[in-house]
Chains A and B, each alone.
Chain A
Amino acid sequence: MQTVLSAANILLPLAYLLVAVDYGFLFFAAHEVAERTATPALRGTVLLHLAFLAGLAARHRQFPAATLSQALSVVALAVAIVYVFVEWRGRARSTGFWLVSLVFFFQLLSSVLARPNPPDRAIFHDLYFSAHVSLALLGYAAFVVAAGYAFLYLQLYRDLKGGRFSTFYGKLPPLEVLERMMLVALGAGFVALTGAVVTGALWAERLYPNWMHDPKILATLATWVIYAAALLLRRLRRWQGRQTALASLAGLGAILFSLVAVNLFFTGFHGFL
Chain B
Amino acid sequence: MGGSPHDRAPSGPRPQDPPLLLVGTDFRCSPLDLREKVSYSPGETEEMLVHLLARPAVAEAFLLSTCNRTEILLHPQDEDEAYRTALELVFLKRVPELERPGRLYVKRNGEAARHLLAVASGLESMVLGEPEILGQVKQASALAEAVGAEGAVLRRLLRSAVSAGKRARQETGVTSGAVSLGYAVVELARNIFSGLGDSRALLIGAGETSRLVARALLERGVREIAVANRGAERRQRFQEEFPEIQVLPFEERLEALRSADLVVAATRAEEPVLTARQLAETMDRRPSRPLLVVDLGVPRNVEPESKRVENLFLHPIDSLEHLIQRNLKRRKEEVPKVEEILDQELAHFRAWYRGLAAEPLIARLQKQAERIRLQELAETAPSFPPETHEVLDRLTRSLVRKILHHPSTRLRGKGGDEDLPRLDLVRELFRLDEEKDGEE
Contacts and interface: CB of A to CB of B under 8 A. Distances in A.
Interface of A: 156, 160-161, 163, 165, 169-170, 172-177, 180, 234, 237-238, 240-242
Contact of A163 (B191, B193, B290, B319): B319
Given A165-B322, A241-B311, A177 B191 contact: no
Contact of A176 (B194, B310, B318, B323): B194
Given A174-B194, A240-B310, A241-B288, 7 more contacts: A160-B192, A165-B323, A169-B191, A174-B193, A175-B191, A175-B290, A238-B287
A240 B191 contact: no
A180 B194 contact: yes
Interface in B370-417: none
Contacts of B188: 160
Nearest to B316: A163
Nearest to A161: B313
A172 B191 CA distance: 8
Contacts of B313: 160-161
A161 B307 contact: yes
Given A174-B190, A175-B191, A177-B194, A163 B310 contact: no
Contacts of B287: 237-238, 240
15 contacts: A156-B191, A160-B191, A163-B319, A163-B322, A165-B323, A170-B177, A170-B187, A170-B191, A173-B194, A174-B191, A174-B194, A175-B290, A176-B192, A176-B194, A241-B290
Residue among A156, A176, A241 with the highest chain B CB neighbour number at 10 A:
A176
A237 B177 CA distance: 34
A202 to B, nearest CB: 37
Nearest to B311: A240
Interface in B152-203: 177, 187-188, 190-194
Query: Chain B interface: which size bin?
Result: 20 to 34
B315 interface: yes
A240 B288 contact: yes
Interface string B195-228: 0000000000000000000000000000000000
A236 B390 CA distance: 90
A115 B99 CA distance: 85
Considering the complex of A and B, which 9 residue pairs feature the smallest CB-CB distances, nearest first?
Answer: A163-B319, A176-B194, A175-B192, A160-B313, A240-B311, A177-B194, A237-B287, A237-B288, A174-B194
A165 B316 CA distance: 14
Contacts of A177: 194
B326 interface: yes
A175 B289 CA distance: 11
Q: Is the interface of B mostly helix, strand, loop or mixed?
A: mixed
A205 B191 CA distance: 50
A175 B194 CA distance: 7
A159 to B, nearest CB: 8
Nearest to B326: A165
A180 B318 CA distance: 30
A67 B48 CA distance: 82
A36 to B, nearest CB: 16
Contacts of A173: 194
A242 B192 contact: no
B290 to A, nearest CB: 6
Nearest to B319: A163
A172 B194 CA distance: 11
Interface string B295-330: 000000000000100110101101100110010000
A242 B311 contact: yes
Nearest to B187: A170
A176 B290 contact: yes
Contacts of B315: 163
Nearest to A235: B288
Contacts of A165: 322-323, 326
A174 B192 contact: yes
A169 B315 CA distance: 15
Contacts of A161: 307, 313
Contacts of A169: 191
Contacts of B190: 174
Nearest to A177: B194
A273 to B, nearest CB: 36
A27 B89 CA distance: 52
A205 B9 CA distance: 98
A130 B177 CA distance: 50
Contacts of A242: 310-311
A31 to B, nearest CB: 10
A9 B310 CA distance: 49
A165 B326 CA distance: 8
A238 B191 CA distance: 24
B190 to A, nearest CB: 6
Contacts of A180: 194
A253 B31 CA distance: 63
Nearest to B189: A174
B311 A176 contact: no
A238 B287 CA distance: 7
Nearest to A159: B191
A87 to B, nearest CB: 14
Contacts of B319: 163
Nearest to B171: A29
A175 B313 CA distance: 11
Contacts of B290: 175-176, 241
Contacts of A238: 287
A169 B193 CA distance: 14
Contacts of B307: 161
Contacts of B288: 234, 237, 240-241
Contacts of B318: 163
Interface in B320-364: 322-323, 326
B100 to A, nearest CB: 44
Interface in B94-123: none
Contacts of A170: 177, 187, 191
A180 B323 CA distance: 26
Contacts of A234: 288
Nearest to B261: A176
A169 B318 CA distance: 17
Contacts of A172: 191
A242 B309 CA distance: 12
B183 to A, nearest CB: 13
A148 B302 CA distance: 34
